[in-house]
A and B are shown apart, each in its own frame.
Chain A
Amino acid sequence: MNDTAILIVGVGGQGTLLSSRILGEVAVAGGFDVKLSEVHGMAQRGGSVVTHVRFGQKVYSPLVGAGQADFILAFEKLEALRWARYLKKGGLIISNTRKIPPIPVTLGLQKYPEDIDEILSSAASTCMVDAGRIASECGSVKAVNVVLLGVLASRLAFEKELWLRAIRKIVPQNTIEINTEAFNRGYELLKG
């Protein structure tokens, strides 16, 4: 695996930090140099959030630049659109189908773009996932982050066991079962 760059984007409170920590843990276990850059503080309060993840032989910048991301993992559709220019040509956008209107949209000041799927798929490879439904079927709507992580995992070359081990290590003890199931469902999704 060459140097890999991934952006995990979403809305503050959706659990982007947990998934980036799992991903980081897996990349370390896979023997790579790893850097993650997180958002703490004010932006976490329902704002647009992004975690940068990079791993390879030697990583300098913790930030993924425009045109550098191999994957964008989006927990919300508008956020996939917002960060799309960070995707490398030939990269893949994995996005939740969930729409969360930001306050300016709720107030009628701006429109939520209707055609996000078309805009994204005309520019890049995309994989749209109804992660909320899958997570609910696994027992908790909160597991959206791990469902999406499962989809991403199926496109990375790490052994599945590394992922499961990292999940067991990082998620709260009483949610291991739900999260493992959520991960498996995501992992199998693209295999048809």
Chain B
Amino acid sequence: MKKLLLGNEAVALGAYEARVKVASAYPGTPSTEITESISRYEDIYVEWSPNEKVALEVALGASIAGARAMACMKHVGLNVAADPLFTSSYTGINGGLVIVVADDPGMHSSQNEQDSRFYGRAAHIPVLEPSDSQEAKDFTKLAFDISEKFDTPVMLRMTTRVSHSRSLVEPGERLDVGLRDYAKDVGKYVMMPAMARGRRTVLVEREKKLQEYAEKADINKVEYNDRSIGIIAAGGAYNYAKEATPGASFLKLGMVWPLPQDLIKNFAKNVERLFVVEELETFVEDYIKTLGLKVFGKDYFPKTGELSYEIVARGLKAAGVKSEILNLAFEDFIDVKVSSIPARPPALCPGCPHRGVYHVLKKLNLTVTGDIGCYTLGALPPLSSMDTCICMGASIGNAHGMEKARGKDVSGKTVAVIGDSTFVHSGITGLIDVVYNNGAATVIILDNSTTGMTGHQEHPATGFNIKGEPAYKLSLEKLCEAVGVKRVRVEDPFDMENFEKAVLEETAAKEPSVIIARRPCALLKRNRLKNPPYSVNKDTCIECGACLELGCPAIVNMDGVSIDKDICVGCGLCAAVCPTESIAGGDMSE
């Protein structure tokens, strides 16, 4: 019986059916639900690793030991895991090894829009790209077969709209795959120069064989219809193109690296005009141009953002494709006469512990190097307290670099803010650097006891593992002390008065310091904040706007200031900043 599954859930089902034994990951939108779904299968070992590099190393170790293994991450996570990725291509595998990478065209929840297909090409490993949930499951299984047949890691490339769309999946049989024998093989698994040179030759030969495979693979499909236009597409882009011109001829690629040279040449010969529809970079288009073929692509479709049926149809129309085979419904939308619609950017939740921190940092007018998580929202008005956000862990190195560039005065006016999960992921190495190289940065670890933005995943400092079972709880304060920070203190960000004092003292110190702002995420189930809602006394409120400066979604400014009692969790920050004591817990109108 078919099930309606997210693309990510379908990958998990594929892993289950392929008899994966070990799965590891660090959370990251849009990839997170793959590993969460795998954790529901009892006989698969699954873990949240501290970061993607470790996750891939764990999966590779499991593979070398003879098990089918999988590591999952978002596109920028693959940068972190790039080191083991490139060399795993040299060692090859023992049990099948699949690396699932979810790209985020349109940057719905990411800091950049990089295209992971280039990693596949650069590392000389095959890349499969599904277009819906059924393919997500089927390609996952197939990826393990390819991995074992060709002795290579295989990348499964997802994109946001495939990961986070639900479509029908027919569950299949679970394969009977056991552990392969493990035998020590220094020439294959110890990559020092002499051995690596040998393996380098092997991987070049392997790529040739993979290309021959791609020519005949079932997942690269030709569909001939109207031959005036032929479209080459993969993944989500295929769906948009199919919608824009169902009557065109298609070469649907299921394998986007290596590309099937002869299949492409032959398809090109059989259509009048050849198009490539792909999201992000000109990966397939450039390849086709190197074959000496005439092809249209990004001349008509944008390089930035995600595609849609509408964008593809518009591009094809602009390219002069005859309108009889185009679906032009988008030209016929209703005429809504409105000059400007206010934007609705995301905001920190009511009761968010980060709000108090940013309120203090803004008040003190500090330069704030930021990091990746919910707390990046502190960059937006009205909190507007962030100067940089680059990648996981960058806040600490950025603050240190600023100080080294502009002298120690900067350290008195600069703080790095980083979440607890992000700190464990890659902040700790930055802190080691600060201490080792005689810096004086102040680091605020926003410890909300979870990985917030991605939907509340455990990490080494929460005291629980991915299955919710108790685990050793990493002490952030002991860790900071161990790397040589002498000034480590824990503060409650809801107590803004004390918190301000702490920030002033630590930024004034001429040595490295860490403030752990500890208060659980307001949405965290095991610790949910739910005090009675606060309310505004309209008689004494002078509408000064002090509470509005907190940027709390529960504080509403329409016909005077009021508090939405349905979403207020009673954190009390607004009462603390009100100069006329017009805000208090409970209903003040009664």
Contact = CB atoms under 8 A, between A and B. Distances in A.
B345 A38 contact: no
B461 to A, nearest CB: 22
A40 B346 contact: no
A14 B347 CA distance: 14
Nearest to B343: A104
A106 B555 contact: yes
A79 B4 CA distance: 27
A61 B377 contact: no
Chain B's interface size range is: 35 or more
B308 A62 contact: no
A42 interface: yes
A85 B161 contact: no
Interface in A135-192: 141
A91 to B, nearest CB: 8
Contacts of B330: 65-68
B342 A28 contact: no
B220 interface: no
Interface in B136-179: 161, 164-168
Given A85-B334, A113-B338, A119-B336, A61 B109 contact: no
Contacts of A79: 344
A43 B109 contact: yes
Given A42-B346, A102-B345, A34 B164 contact: no
B472 interface: no
Contacts of A33: 167-168
Given A60-B239, A104-B343, A141-B566, A42 B453 contact: yes
A113 B341 CA distance: 7
B17 to A, nearest CB: 21
Contacts of A24: 4, 166
A36 B333 contact: no
Contacts of A47: 344-347
Nearest to B311: A65
Contacts of B331: 67
Nearest to B310: A65
Chain A's interface size range is: 35 or more
B164 A43 contact: no
B580 interface: no
Nearest to A144: B566
Nearest to A35: B167
Of A66, A89, A109, A119, most buried by chain B (CB within 10 Å of CB) is A66
A122 B167 CA distance: 35
B344 A41 contact: no
B166 A34 contact: yes
Contacts, number: 203
Interface string B544-560: 01001001010111100
B333 A61 contact: no
Contacts of B310: 65-66
B335 A78 contact: no
A36 B162 CA distance: 10
Interface in A33-69: 33-48, 59-63, 65-68
A123 interface: yes
Interface in A74-125: 78-79, 81-82, 84-89, 91, 99-113, 119-120, 122-124
B397 interface: no
Nearest to B1: A28
Of A33, A38, A78, A120, most buried by chain B (CB within 10 Å of CB) is A38
B382 to A, nearest CB: 6
B455 A78 contact: no
Contacts of B341: 78, 81-82, 113
A34 B553 CA distance: 34
B26 interface: no
A38 B164 contact: yes
B39 to A, nearest CB: 17
A43 B557 contact: no
Contact of B343 (A34, A62, A100, A110): A110
Interface of B: 2, 4, 6, 29-30, 32-33, 108-109, 132, 161, 164-168, 236, 238-240, 242-243, 246, 308-310, 313, 329-338, 340-349, 374, 377, 380-382, 453-455, 545, 548, 551, 553, 555-558, 564, 566-567
27 contacts: A11-B344, A33-B167, A33-B168, A35-B166, A41-B108, A42-B108, A46-B344, A46-B553, A59-B167, A62-B132, A78-B341, A78-B342, A81-B336, A100-B556, A101-B557, A101-B558, A102-B342, A103-B347, A107-B381, A108-B557, A110-B340, A110-B343, A112-B342, A112-B558, A113-B342, A123-B336, A124-B334
Given A105-B557, A108-B545, 20 more contacts: A12-B346, A13-B567, A33-B167, A33-B168, A34-B168, A36-B4, A39-B164, A41-B108, A41-B455, A60-B238, A62-B236, A63-B309, A82-B344, A88-B334, A89-B332, A104-B342, A104-B343, A107-B548, A123-B334, A123-B336
For the complex of A and B, 4 pairs with smallest distance between CB atoms = A41-B109, A41-B29, A67-B333, A47-B346
